[in-house]
């Protein structure tokens, strides 16, 4: 197995470790969960860079890499559902949309049909990750005494339930809309993909 695929596999293996630490009652373990998440996210950037630089591009990697990303982000979103921070229905919409598109693209690659990734979809990914980083950071800071004592009021405002709700609502709306646009813009390729000729 080439190194980029090993890093992708590592990202998948780190995901349950992150969730276990994140859901722990221990402030220290919650803080470590942020580090684990960041390490997993870095492997995403690094394996992509390696694959492009040294042409370590495999069919298995094309399938596994985006799937690993969705597993990591979906798990993080679910972690915030379990802790009562996010609404389950929004997270379900995001997970269903992302998994559907990922599986569709993987099947298309298998059939040697390429679906172009739109700029809107890239912005969707950026928004999701930025929002998750925001949540992980502010809720991790709330477990550290120094920040609680010195910046407690700011942290309260940054984790206000109404603020989080509307931020998540925006991320959800962008995710669903870009998913619909993606399916529409690739409708002819999708029709070809599932035609009997293929």
Q: What is the pLDDT of residues 139-196, one digit of tens each?
A: 999 999 999 999 999 999 999 999 999 999 999 999 999 999 998 888 888 888 777 5
Q: Cα(79)–Cα(188) distance, rounded to whole angstroms?
A: 37
Which tokens in the block code for residue 33?
């969960």
Place of tokens 């700011």: 154
For the ranges 50-54, 68-72, 99-103, 111-115, which has the lowest average pLDDT? Answer: 50-54
- 196 or 80: which leads in pLDDT: 80
Asked if residues 43 and 9 have their Cβ atoms less than 8 Å apart, the reply is no
Highest CATH level, class, for 3-193 = mainly alpha
Q: What is the pLDDT of residues 94-112, one digit of tens each?
A: 999 998 998 888 788 777 7
For 189-198, the CB contacts below 8 A with 24+ separation are 189/108, 189/113, 189/115, 190/104, 192/113, 193/104, 193/107, 193/108, 193/111, 193/113, 198/111, 198/113
Does residue 58 carry a pLDDT above 90?
no
């Amino acid at each position: 197995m080439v190194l980029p695929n090993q890093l992708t596999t590592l990202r998948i293996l780190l995901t349950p470790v992150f969730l276990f630490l994140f859901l722990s009652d221990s402030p220290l373990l919650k803080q470590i969960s942020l580090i684990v998440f960041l390490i997993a996210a870095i492997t995403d950037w690094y394996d992509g860079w390696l694959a492009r630089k040294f042409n370590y591009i495999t069919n298995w990697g094309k399938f596994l890499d985006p799937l690993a990303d969705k597993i990591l982000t979906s798990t993080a979103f679910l972690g915030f559902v379990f802790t009562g921070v996010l609404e389950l229905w929004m997270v379900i919409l995001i997970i269903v949309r992302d998994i559907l598109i990922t599986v569709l693209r993987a099947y298309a690659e298998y059939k040697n049909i390429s679906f172009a990734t739109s700029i809107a979809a890239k912005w969707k990914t950026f928004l999701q990750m930025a929002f998750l980083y925001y949540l992980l950071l502010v809720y991790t800071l709330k477990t550290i005494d120094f920040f609680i004592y010195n910046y407690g009021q700011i942290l309260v405002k940054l984790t206000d339930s109404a603020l989080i709700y509307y931020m998540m609502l925006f991320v959800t709306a962008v995710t669903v809309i870009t998913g619909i646009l993606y399916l529409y813009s690739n409708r002819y390729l999708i029709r070809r993909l599932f035609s009997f000729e293929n």
